[in-house]
Amino acid sequence: MTIQWRDLDTVSAHPGLYLQAVLHRSVTGKTLPDLGLRAQITIDPRNLADYRKVCGVVESSLLPPAYPHVLAFPLQLRLLTDKRFPFPLLGLVHLENSIQVLRPLAGLGPFTISVHAENLKPHDKGAVFSIITRLEDQLGLLWQGDSRILCRGVKLDASPEAAPELEDMQLNEIAHWHAPSDIGRRYAKVSGDYNPIHMSALSAKLFGFPRAIAHGLWNKGRVLAELANQLPDSGYQLYVRFKKPLLLPGDVILKASANAPSGQFVLSGSDGGPHLQGQWQPLDG
């Protein structure tokens, strides 16, 4: 598929896009659009500082490895609410996420950030597709992300593929923390992701959850903050599989393998059930 790129003057997401998402609640097709969105950006130091605070990231000369998700979210929201996009935004489920940190994420820009959708495939519960995000500077690609998204109820004429198996490693507890009831609202202020399932128990119940749930990318950002001493500055890829939602408030335990070029981790609740699990390895691994 050849991507038709649309260059935008700003990455700001219009508040009316969520209202548009509420009104668009049906599947309108089975083909992803060839639309790609991109824009020139510079990083707001205040937003970066707020992200570090809400995710527990220590001060550094480098950007947090999950922070490009925040930079890209407005473009992703525009893409998913575009009239040509066949699946309704509300109800989509973020199943998996992988990133590649090719070079150190240094400086505040200017950068080029871009998003597009590809790789639509069948799933046991519907269909999955990728949102590909790229962050580039004057020298080329710095960071790339692949978010695998599930749309329930879509039937494609093919057999589902099995999820990749994670390597079985010895894991030890390295941290634990409390996720307060307002963390969804606090992360939303930083990321712009005001999905109702994260805002309050009342709004989450409208979508079948007993209480608000934490953003999966807040969980990921918080985990990577704890793994900072085990991850290199660049030259690695990291994969996360989102599991059981983290109901707010909630307590979690992070376990990880020993410090090494390759490793594995799992974030679990007090009952032992995993909220996310993943692994990292060198890009040439």
pLDDT digits (tens, 9 = 90+) for 192-216: 898 889 999 999 998 889 999 999 9
Q: What is the pLDDT of residues 67-101, one digit of tens each?
A: 999 999 999 999 998 989 999 888 899 999 999 99
Q: Are 176 and 250 in contact (CB under 8 A)?
A: no
pTM of structure:
0.92
Number of domains in the chain: 1
Q: Which helix (H) or strand (E) holds 118?
A: strand 111-123
pLDDT of residue 21: 61
State the residue range of the domain holding 175. 4-282
Please give the single-letter amino acid code of residue 106: A
Q: Are 52 and 44 in contact (CB under 8 A)?
A: no
For CA atoms 270, 49, 191, 194, the dihedral sign is: positive
> Would you say residue 285 has pLDDT above 60?
no
As beta bridge partners, residue 136 has 112, 141
Q: What is the pLDDT of residues 16-28, one digit of tens each?
A: 666 666 666 678 8
As beta bridge partners, residue 256 has 172, 265
Across the range 221-247, mean pLDDT stands at 96
Across the range 153-159, mean pLDDT stands at 80
Q: Please report, for the domain that includes residue 13, its CATH number.
A: 3.10.129.10
H helical segments located in the chain: 16-23, 45-55, 67-80, 183-191, 201-205, 216-226
